């Protein structure tokens, strides 16, 4: 870029930057509002992005899970590999879900629509949502005991799902035939395409406004702007190599195995290298992650220690090198399963948090409880039903501050993704009897870990439960003398009150009408010795019920 161009960008580049983000944002709003899967509409488990023909991320929607941030940019090259740019036609729509080529897992469908300028695809509008079911050995994509990819659902390599003449009905019928909820699945696919159409239209009007060359220049300025901000942030961080590991409970199949994710973060001269060498090899169980998921998690974790307002685009990736060994837990290869991706990725995120904490003990955070998903399904008089949702564990204590209760710290999530009870009860054969904070579940410390929750479902009809989670056997650890958080779990409570602890990864567990399903999430770890906790903070915790009088005695020596 010339000096003049750079000045022009500095002066009014903000106008185009906003327009590019707004285009992606608008697309994601359309996707969420038009979607059929409750997962999407309640949890906003959707993303939209603009990309260029080289697969670089131009802009991304801002409301959604940060574990989506790398997947669209990593997958587009796979689509272009299968469908060279010269073969693409205006009006084409492509989709895929291949975890080995940049995708996430079977249920996350990625849609791409080329945007033409001067007769060639210059940019792409892309959208992505978690659809509720696309087959596999268990409902809702929670095939917790899968030992290969084929048990996790229908695999979609890059395909052309539509052209200017409309959607490919044969492909649609294959997709519908592979879903337990065909109508919702096809509805969600249409929502994805509607969103991509919106982003493409906005991009076309930007081409009109700026001209092709002007827009291309402006986009370069936009990416360079984020990259400069990233480098400034990385330079402000003390140079060094920061190492940490974090463990997983197990894989659900081999009872005596545990796993470890290792990371070395090197910060030097405004660049970062995130190296996962030393991470355990992949396993024939559903705890591995595709490389794009690992990249999303790693960039997110790094950004938690930088300026949070940097616009997300390729410039954020530019000063970061990723070393993700192929065939490890964090870079799965065929035919190993990848559906349990968040288990390995959250361990990677935690390991980076712990590594970065070493750079400054006053910016330390203890380990946190994670997202704890489940799916209940049954076959009532009105047909099959699936309720898939999750609850969140407590956040680890931070230096100077208690952890937040039940919040999704590893993916930038929040509690607005948890469905409310009344809409569920109006639709499904269960009563959500209790949704409560678990007293004493936050790890004791000078600063206390955030609390976990207990949710109790009273089943009014027979149902089956499928779930997978982590940090239930090795609970979130405390740091600097703080104690571990309380481990959560999945339980079946019989009508007589007997409570049975269930494995943390399983599928198809039978529940009878009258049984209760109890979901407990883990509390976050504490930070600093409990004996140093401020007395008035303990009083407030007791008044609010976050710590019980017994807990205060046991953890803080209150008489």
Partner 1 sequence: MVVHVAAQNQTVVAVDIGGTFTDAVLSTSSGLFTAKVLTTPADPAQGFMECVRRVLAAGNVHPGSVERVVHGTTLATNVILERRGAAIALITTDGYRSLLALGRHGRVEEERYDLWGSQPEPIVPLSHTFEVRGRMQANGDVLVAFDAIQAAEVADAIAALGVAGVAICFLNSYVDDRHELAMAEICRSRLGPRVSIVTSASVLPEMREFERLTTTVMSAYVGPVMSDYLRSLAESLAQTGVHAPIFVMESAGGVMPAALAASFPVHTIESGPAAGVIAAARFGGDCGADQIVAFDMGGTTAKAALVRGGRPDITHDFIVGGKGSFGGRRAGSGTPVKIPAIDLAEVGSGGGSIAWLDPAGAVRVGPRSAGASPGPACYGAGGVAPTVTDANLILGYMSSDSMAGGTMRLDVQAAIDAVTLTVARPLRVSLHDAAYAIHDIANADMAAAIHVVTVQRGIDPRRFTLVATGGAAAIHACRIAARFEMREVIVPPHAGVGSAVGLVRTDLLTERSRSALVPLADADPRHLQKLFDDLTAAAAEDLESDPRTMIVERTVAMRFVGQAHELEVAVPSGSFDARALQALEQTFLSDYRRVFGLDVRGAIELVSFRSQVRRSVGAPIRDDAPEGVDSPVALERAAWFPERGGLTPTKVARRGDLEIGRVVDGPFIIEAADSTTVVPPGWTATVHPSRSLLLRPADRHT
Site for partner 1 in 331-370 (CB under 8 A): 353, 363, 365
By CB under 8 A, what part of segment 236-295 binds partner 1?
A: none
Cβ neighbours, 10 Å, residue 358: 15
Least CB distance to partner 1 at residue 276 (A): 21
CA nearest 299: which of 270, 325, 274?
274
| String of contacts with partner 1 for each residue 134-173, x by CB under 8 A | ----------------------------------------
> Between residue 497 and residue 556, which ones bind partner 1 under the rule CB under 8 A?
543-546
415 is a site residue for partner 1 (CB under 8 A): yes
Asked whether the beta carbons of 339 and 286 are under 8 A apart, the reply is yes
Indicate the pairing of strand 371-380 with strand 159-163.
Answer: unpaired
Strands of the 159-163 sheet, one edge to the other: 57-60, 46-52, 120-130, 108-117, 93-96, 159-163, 166-167
Question: How far is C-alpha 538 from the chain's CA centre?
Answer: 34
Nearest distance in Å: CB 22, partner 1: 5
The secondary structure of 446-502 as a DSSP string is: SBPPPP-EEEEEEESS-EEEEEE-SSSSSPPPPBTTPPPPPP-EEEEE-TTS-EEEE
The nearest distance, CB 59 to partner 1, in angstroms, is 12
Least distance from C-beta 227 to partner 1, angstroms?
9
Closest CA to 65 of 230, 395, 248, 312: 312
Contact string 423-462 vs partner 1 (x = CB under 8 A): x-xx----x-xxxxx------------x--x--x-x----
Residues in the chain: 559
Instruction: State the nearest-atom distance from the C-beta of 183 to partner 1, in Å.
Output: 7
Q: What residues from 51 to 80 belong to the interface with partner 1 (CB under 8 A)?
A: 62-63, 66
d(CA 422, CA 534): 39
Q: Which is nearer to partner 1, 198 or 467 (CB)?
A: 198
Q: Which of residues 287-316 bind partner 1 (CB under 8 A)?
A: 300, 303-304, 306-309
Count of other CB atoms within 10 angstroms of residue 548: 14
Q: Of 48-56, 320-328, 414-422, 466-474, which segment contacts partner 1 by CB under 8 A?
A: 414-422
In the complex, minimum distance from the CB of residue 555 to partner 1, in angstroms, rounded to a whole number: 19
CB of 517 to partner 1, least distance (A): 14
Residues 365-394, interacting with partner 1 (CB under 8 A): 365
| 5 vs 253 by CB, closer to partner 1 | 5
Decide: is 194 part of the binding site for partner 1 (CB under 8 A).
Answer: yes
Which stretches of 367-454 are DSSP H helices? Answer: 421-425
Closer by beta carbon to partner 1, 148 or else 208: 208
Which residues in the 199-228 window bind partner 1 by CB under 8 A? Answer: 225, 228
CB of 100 to partner 1, least distance (A): 28
Interacting positions 23-52 with partner 1 (CB under 8 A): 25-26, 29-30, 32-38, 41-42, 44
Nearer to partner 1, 532 or 544 (CB): 544
Cβ-contact 283, 329 below 8 angstroms: yes
- Closest Cα to residue 455, out of 421, 427, 486? 421
Judged by CB under 8 A, how many residues of this single chain contact partner 1? 87
* Per CB under 8 A, 114 contacts partner 1: no
Which lies closer to partner 1 via its Cβ, residue 15 or residue 268?
A: 15
- Which single residue is written with the structure tokens 């049954």? 378
Rounded Cα distance between 301 and 308, Å, is 11
Give the shortest CB-545-to-partner 1 separation in angstroms: 6
Cβ atoms of residues 279 and 325 within 8 Å: yes
CB of 224 to partner 1, least distance (A): 8
Judged by beta carbon, residue 39 or residue 259, the one nearer partner 1 is: 39
Strands lying side by side in the sheet with 463-468? 383-392, 371-380, 463-468, 505-511
Phi-psi region of 289 (alpha: psi -120 to 50; beta: other; left: phi over 0): beta
Task: Find the angle CA(176)-CA(413)-CA(418) to the nearest 5 degrees.
Answer: 65
């Amino acid at each position: 870029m010339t000096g003049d161009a750079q000045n022009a960008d500095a002066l009014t580049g903000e106008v185009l930057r906003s327009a590019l983000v707004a285009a992606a944002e608008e697309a994601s709003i359309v996707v969420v509002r038009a979607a059929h899967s409750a997962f999407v509409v309640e949890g906003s488990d959707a993303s939209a992005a603009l990309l260029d023909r080289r697969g670089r991320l131009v802009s991304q929607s801002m409301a959604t899970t940060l574990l989506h941030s790398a997947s669209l940019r990593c997958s587009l090259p796979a689509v272009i590999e299968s469908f060279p740019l010269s073969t693409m036609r205006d009006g084409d729509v492509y989709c895929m879900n291949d975890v080995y080529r940049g995708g996430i897992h079977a249920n996350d469908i990625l849609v791409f629509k080329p945007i033409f300028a001067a007769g060639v695809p210059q940019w792409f509008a892309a959208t992505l949502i978690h659809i509720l079911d696309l087959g596999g050995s268990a409902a809702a994509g929670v095939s917790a005991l899968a030992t290969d990819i084929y048990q996790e659902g229908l695999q979609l390599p890059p395909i052309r799902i539509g052209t200017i003449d409309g959607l490919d009905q044969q492909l649609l019928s294959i997709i519908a035939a592979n879903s337990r909820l065909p109508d919702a699945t096809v509805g969600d696919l249409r929502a994805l395409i509607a969103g991509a159409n919106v982003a493409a239209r906005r991009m076309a009007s930007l081409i009109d406004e700026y001209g092709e060359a002007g827009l291309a220049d402006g986009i370069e300025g936009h990416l360079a702007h984020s990259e400069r901000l990233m480098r400034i942030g990385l330079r402000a961080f003390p140079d060094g190599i920061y190492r940490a590991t974090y463990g997983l409970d197990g894989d659900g199949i081999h009872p005596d195995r545990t796993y470890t994710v290792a990371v070395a973060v090197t910060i030097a001269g405004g660049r970062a290298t995130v190296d996962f060498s030393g991470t355990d090899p992949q396993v024939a169980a559903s705890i591995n992650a595709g490389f794009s998921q690992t990249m999303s998690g790693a960039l997110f974790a790094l950004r938690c220690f930088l300026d949070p307002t940097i616009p997300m685009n390729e410039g954020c990736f530019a000063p970061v090198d990723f070393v993700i060994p192929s065939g490890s837990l964090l870079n799965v290869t065929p035919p190993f399963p990848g559906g349990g991706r968040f288990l390995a990725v959250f361990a990677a995120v935690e390991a980076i948090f712990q590594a970065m904490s070493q750079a400054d003990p006053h910016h330390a955070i203890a380990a946190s409880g994670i997202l704890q998903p489940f799916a209940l399904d049954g076959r009532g008089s009105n047909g099959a039903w699936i309720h898939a949702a999750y609850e969140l564990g407590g956040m680890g204590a931070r230096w100077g501050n208690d952890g937040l209760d039940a919040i999704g710290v590893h993916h930038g999530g929040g509690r607005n993704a948890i469905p409310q009870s009344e809409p569920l009860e109006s639709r499904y054969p269960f009563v959500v009897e209790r949704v409560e904070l678990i007293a004493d579940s936050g790890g004791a410390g000078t600063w206390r870990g955030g609390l976990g929750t207990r949710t109790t479902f009273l089943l009014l009809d027979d149902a089956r439960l499928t779930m997978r989670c982590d940090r239930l056997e090795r609970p979130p650890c405390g740091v600097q003398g703080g104690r571990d958080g309380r481990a959560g779990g999945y339980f079946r409570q019989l009508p007589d009150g007997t409570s049975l602890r269930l494995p943390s990864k399983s599928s198809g567990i039978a529940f009878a009408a009258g049984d209760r399903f109890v979901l407990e999430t883990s509390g976050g770890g504490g930070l600093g010795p409990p004996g140093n906790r401020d007395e008035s903070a303990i009083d407030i915790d007791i008044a609010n019920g976050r710590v019980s009088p017994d807990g205060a005695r046991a953890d803080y020596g209150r008489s």
